[in-house]
């Protein structure tokens, strides 16, 4: 894989998908359907998926592609692949709360090594460079050339005063019980894969997820966090979260800056 070409393609496709999503988001109304797993899907999910998938298949025809909106792709098996969630945070989108993202990642040998997370309604974009390090680009975002970027680095965590970020739409008692094991200075709430990015920027130290997610929900944010010096581990045994699992389903996990002293599940 030529990482320079990959980063350019992922960034451009995320921006183009974001433009399409925002056209629909800013319309007076849009269609919402319900998938077989009872999760919502909008015309924005489908339009962004079609755009990204076509672009990735044209640029990297020999790389396996897994995307949330194409059920046939979930039957593919391997540990090296491109993986896409064209609109993560569909509930945020439907409720016009803005915390939704475009996610594109490359997984190598079960590890997300490159990725882009773009939040078009928030004008925030995070991605890994060819060398694997992570940056946030400042807008306005041009399709052809990247603008000014800031290198991302996780916080030097103070275990007596941690910043914790948790899900806006999936917060539950189990999550609160786990968070209460830490000395927490403050809490943030965020939707979609932005939670990984808040840990990557140092705006938060810890993001525990005690709930269902799929690999396309997490791969891009995982890559960005890893490129900023952070880590994502399983909730149960603190082993690294791996990708290419059966059905692309994740176990519970913890994303964190390495200075955090993790508590047992």
Short-list 196, 144, 138, 130, CA closest to 167? 196
143 is in an annotated binding site: no
Which are the contacts of 137, defined by CB distance < 8 A and separation ≥ 6?
Answer: 125, 126, 127, 146, 147, 148, 149
Is 217 annotated to bind a ligand? Reply is yes
How far apart are alpha carbons 43 and 66 in whole angstroms?
19
Residue 90 is labelled as binding a ligand = yes
CA distance 72 to 114: 24
The answer on whether 28 is annotated among ligand-binding residues is no
Q: What is the DSSP string of 138-171?
A: -SSPPSSS---EEE-------TTSEEEEEESSS-
| Residue 85 is assigned to a ligand binding site | yes
The reply to whether 92 sits in an annotated binding site is no
Contact by Cβ (8 Å): 225, 197: yes
For residue 86, what are the contacts with CB-CB under 8 A and spacing of at least 6?
17, 45, 46, 48, 49, 51, 52, 67, 68, 69, 102, 103
- Annotated ligand binding at 65? The verdict is no
Annotated binding site for substrate: 68, 87-90, 217
Q: Which residues are annotated as a binding site for Mg(2+)?
A: 68, 85, 87-88, 217
Binding residues: 68, 85, 87-90, 217
């Amino acid at each position: 894989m030529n990482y320079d070409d990959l980063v350019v393609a992922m960034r451009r496709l995320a921006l183009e998908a974001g433009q399409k999503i925002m056209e629909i988001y800013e319309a007076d109304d849009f269609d919402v359907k319900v998938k077989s797993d009872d999760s919502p899907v909008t015309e924005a999910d489908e339009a962004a998926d079609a755009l990204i998938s076509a672009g990735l298949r044209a640029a990297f025809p020999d790389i396996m592609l897994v995307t949330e909106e194409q059920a046939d792709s979930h039957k593919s098996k391997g540990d090296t692949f491109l993986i896409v969630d064209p609109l993560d945070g569909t509930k945020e989108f439907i409720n016009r709360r803005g915390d939704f993202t475009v996610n594109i990642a490359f997984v190598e040998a079960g590890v997300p090594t490159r990725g882009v997370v773009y939040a078009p309604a928030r004008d925030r974009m995070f991605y890994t460079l060819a060398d694997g390090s992570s940056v946030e680009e400042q807008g306005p975002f041009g399709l052809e050339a990247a603008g000014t970027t800031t290198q991302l680095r996780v916080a030097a965590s103070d275990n007596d005063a941690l910043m914790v970020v948790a899900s806006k739409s999936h917060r539950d008692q189990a999550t609160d019980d786990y968070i209460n094991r830490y000395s927490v200075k403050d809490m943030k709430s965020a939707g979609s894969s932005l939670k990984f990015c808040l840990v990557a920027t140092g705006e938060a130290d810890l993001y525990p997820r005690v709930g269902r997610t799929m690999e396309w929900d997490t791969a891009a944010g995982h890559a960005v966090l890893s490129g900023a010096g952070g880590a994502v581990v399983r909730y149960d045994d603190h082993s690294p979260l791996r990708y290419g699992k059966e059905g692309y389903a994740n176990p519970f996990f913890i994303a964190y800056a390495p200075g955090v002293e993790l508590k047992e599940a």
